[in-house]
Amino acid sequence: MMRITLACLGVAAALASACSSPPPPAAATPSLEALATAALARIDGTLALPGLTSPVEVLRDEWGVPHLYAQNTDDLFFAQGFVVAQDRLWQMELWRRSGEGRVAELVGPAGLPHDRLIRRLMFRGPPDDAEWASYHPEGKRIFTAYANGINAFITAAGASLPVEFQLTGTTPEPWTPDQLLQRARVSDAIGDARAELALARSVAALGLAEANRRMPTDVGDRLTVPAGLDVSRISADVIRALDGDMYGNLPRPEILPQYRALPGAVASLDMGVPERSPGSNNWAIGGTRTGTGVAIMVDDPHRQVTNPAHRYLLHLNAPGWTVAGATEAPLPGVIRGHNGRVAWGRTATETDQADVYVETVNPANPNEVRFNGQWESLRVVTETIAVKGAPTETIELKFSRHGPVFFEDREAHLAYALKSQLQARGTAEYLGGLRLDQATSARDCLTAANFMPMPPTNLVCADAQGNIAFRVAVFAPLRQGWTGRLPVPGTGEYEWAPERRTDLPSEFNPARGYIATANNNTHPRTFRPPYTFYPAGQRYRRHERIVQMIESATSLTTDDMQRMLRDSYNTEAAEDARLFSGWRADDAVVERARATIDGWDRVMDRGSAAAALYMAWQGVADLKAARAGTRAATIAGLSGAVTRLEKDQGNDWVQWRWGRMNRSEFPHSVVSAYDLPAIERQGGAGTVNAIGAVYRLVTDFRTPDRSMVTIGPGNSGQPGSPFYRNLHDLWGRNEFFTLLFTRPAVDAHVKYRLLLTPSR
């Protein structure tokens, strides 16, 4: 329209009437692809930014990993905030809203259950000096610089924010340093609370002995009902009061009306394949077991496969800081990786970090509860939740000394409160990793673990001198005289002692020459009092397989590490092999299925019909009977497996393959136009090569530029970016690329150069 108006200004007076005629229709709305391209962040050239004190180089390599070179700490983390926001601002916005209980502002009433729960459980600080310093001595300085960098990108982007903001009409508010301290994931605490409540209900229904028999723990503790606890009062409503957590699976926001008719504007129906092979792997090989005498560290954390990736790769350089690896978009620093001297990785450990306290409420005052024989007041907070397209909701929150009250039984004058790590200082996830960014030896890991309590992990480290170390890094409540498997009265008899730290399991250069964890129980059975409760008799097949591969070799290399990460051998299938050999079935279809599994190599290859048959058999067979030697159960399972595969994959057995059952999908969080193709995967449940391997790292201290990494589908979350899906196929094939570390290597592989300069 502007061009038409300017043209009309130069037209002769005789044509003035034509210029004053009704304007032509407005130009059609650009396609979603064009909108995304127009919104891409600038990743080359020069940008002047207020807030910087000195220039910062941002070199993106051919794989999309940004290498940042700054002259001081403040500029380094300012630039990190800016650069990560360039690639992941929308993902960061969803993380922030999720952790603050502000999802309903974006998605409407569907977000209310989540927001109510989060407001109840969220950390309420204050973010004082002790909180900042728990993550790093310069924590407040680092977090302030990072938030300022995010805000600098928001300001610089102006009306050209990432396309998701434009499609949904969302305007990001400025970030504050304390928002980086969110306890965004509440699922661990909720899971612990649910387990206590469910066991209590089982005790009420079955009796103490039978309930314990059905849910035994590996430590063999003797289950007792805490004095004063009435398990019969715990209803299903108490457990349902903890519903609402949508971490990583938020409802999709609606897009603005002007975009809804565009091709691909409808959100994907598929939210992505749920993770069916949960868990993580890591291991460190000491110099005595490698071919070079140099230690090797492998990090293989598994999470839900998403678009964009859960992790973000980068390389930070400034005086006092040289570190490369992965972070999560809202978190400054590198939370897992290596600094040329030390490498570290983490797997989850099962730690009971929460307890349900049953408070006795004053019948004369519902805002008082009994503690040590006295009535004390609950803290009552009223908050409002904005809801898109609906009235604002007001909620009343109550807090006892033990934590937030999540359910009130007014008839019995009881209130249920959750005491957990969520309310403890220094428990924002992964931020203690900032100390490891500057570690100088594997021994430093043992000290740094004290500042890395969340999430609860098995921390494995290696250093350039050939040392390896292990430490359980966790917020571990100390319960004296009780275990925490059942809820407890809140009257004062069951209080946490100071957090335990000095006696947590650890190792340094063990004689066996390696350390390996895979969510197995790393706690000695004699560890008392126990704070982990793994199910009795549980097998840790990934750990067993990793140990088997390590111990079968004497001179391990980084190539061996990559081979191990790709290992898709199913040890459970190998143990079941006897069920399918040495006999023939009378039914031709069952016999064909039996013979297919019998001739299989037990590798979960994505093209394998046998792997598909075996897993379908597992899903329908009476496994207990079959494994006890009842052939009829095996036959019935085979028949059922064929029926299931014919229904799901068709009657042509040639087309059956494991990958059709074991696939990763990459739906976009707003519209299907930005979805990426699904990938059929190797491995899966029960194998080292689990499909949740969203990031992997193999470090090589001999040649830091040969440390190998993989991530998918790309490092950028911006549709249309050259790094939005460039790693999609590589990751799907379980292939690695180089995580560059030295400046010459980076310069040799630079794809885009961006210079950030101070604004004068």
**Digit-coded pLDDT (tens) for 440-461:** 999 999 999 999 999 999 999 9
pLDDT at 47 over 60: yes
- Whether 626 is covered by a domain: the verdict is yes
- Whether 602 is covered by a domain: the verdict is yes
- Whether 480 is covered by a domain: the verdict is no
At residue 185, φ and ψ (nearest 5 deg) are: -105, 115
Q: b or e along 655-682 (b: 16 or more beta carbons within 10 Å of the residue's beta carbon)? A: ebbbbbbbbbbbbbbbbbbbbbebbbbb
Q: How confident is the model at residue 28 (pLDDT cuts 50, 70, 90)?
A: low
- Whether 366 is covered by a domain: the verdict is no
Average pLDDT over every residue of 135-146: 97
Q: How confident is the model at residue 9 (pLDDT cuts 50, 70, 90)?
A: very low
How many domains is the chain partitioned into structurally? Answer: 2
Determine the Cα–Cα distance for residues 204 and 487; give it in Å rounded to an integer: 13
Q: Which pLDDT does position 154 carry in this prediction?
A: 98
Determine the Cα–Cα distance for residues 5 and 18; give it in Å rounded to an integer: 11
- Whether 152 is covered by a domain: the verdict is no
Mean pLDDT of the chain: 92
State the number of CA atoms in the 13 A half-sphere of 113 facing the CB: 11
pLDDT at 40 over 50: yes
> Domain limits at 8?
2-34
Summarised one tens digit per residue, pLDDT across range 388-410 is 999 999 999 999 999 999 999 99
Q: Which pLDDT does position 204 carry in this prediction?
A: 97
Summarised one tens digit per residue, pLDDT across range 656-680 is 999 999 999 999 999 999 999 999 9
pLDDT at 125 over 90: no
- Whether 83 is covered by a domain: the verdict is no
Q: b or e along 321-351 (b: 16 or more beta carbons within 10 Å of the residue's beta carbon)? A: bbbbbbbbbbbbbbbbbbbbbbbbbbbbbbb
Which stretch of 531-535, 709-713, 753-757 has the lowest confidence by average pLDDT? 531-535
Q: b or e along 690-715 (b: 16 or more beta carbons within 10 Å of the residue's beta carbon)? A: bbbbbbbbbbbbeebebbbbbbbbbb
Determine the Cα–Cα distance for residues 331 and 439; give it in Å rounded to an integer: 18
Is the CB of residue 294 less than 8 Å from the CB of residue 303? no
How much of the chain, in percent, has pLDDT values that exceed 90?
84
Q: Which pLDDT does position 271 carry in this prediction?
A: 64
Better-scored residue on pLDDT, 19 or 633: 633
- Whether 633 is covered by a domain: the verdict is yes
pLDDT at 17 over 70: no
Q: Which pLDDT does position 524 carry in this prediction?
A: 82
Q: Locate 693 and state its tokens.
A: 């391997």
Of residues 600, 619, 622, 618, the one with CA closest to residue 609 = 600
SS3 575: helix
pLDDT at 20 over 50: no
Which stretch of 6-15, 208-217, 437-446 has the lowest confidence by average pLDDT? 6-15
Summarised one tens digit per residue, pLDDT across range 460-476 is 999 999 999 999 999 98
Q: Which pLDDT does position 611 carry in this prediction?
A: 97
Q: Which pLDDT does position 218 carry in this prediction?
A: 85
Give residue 292's identity as a one-letter amino acid code.
T
Q: Which pLDDT does position 246 carry in this prediction?
A: 85
Determine the Cα–Cα distance for residues 128 and 277; give it in Å rounded to an integer: 39
Alpha helices in 282-426 (DSSP H): none
Residue at a domain's end among 660, 686, 707: 660
Of residues 568, 608, 522, 572, the one with CA closest to residue 688 = 568
pLDDT at 23 over 70: no
Q: How confident is the model at residue 267 (pLDDT cuts 50, 70, 90)?
A: confident
Q: Which pLDDT does position 27 carry in this prediction?
A: 55
Better-scored residue on pLDDT, 502 or 567: 567
Which stretch of 37-41, 249-253, 416-420 has the lowest confidence by average pLDDT? 249-253
Q: Locate 735 and state its tokens.
A: 């292939």
Q: Which pLDDT does position 6 carry in this prediction?
A: 27
400 strand-pairing partners: 403
pLDDT at 323 over 50: yes
Cβ neighbours of 291 (radius 10 Å): 15
Determine the Cα–Cα distance for residues 593 and 574; give it in Å rounded to an integer: 16
- Whether 133 is covered by a domain: the verdict is no
pLDDT at 26 over 70: no
Q: Locate 130 and state its tokens.
A: 């002790």
Determine the Cα–Cα distance for residues 474 and 421; give it in Å rounded to an integer: 10
pLDDT at 18 over 60: no
Strands 488-489 vs 354-362: parallel, antiparallel or unpaired = parallel
Better-scored residue on pLDDT, 271 or 731: 731
Q: Locate 23 and state its tokens.
A: 């304007």
Strands 336-338 vs 390-400: parallel, antiparallel or unpaired = unpaired
Residue at a domain's end among 628, 660, 692: 660
Average pLDDT over every residue of 154-162: 96
Q: Which pLDDT does position 12 carry in this prediction?
A: 32
Q: How confident is the model at residue 21 (pLDDT cuts 50, 70, 90)?
A: very low
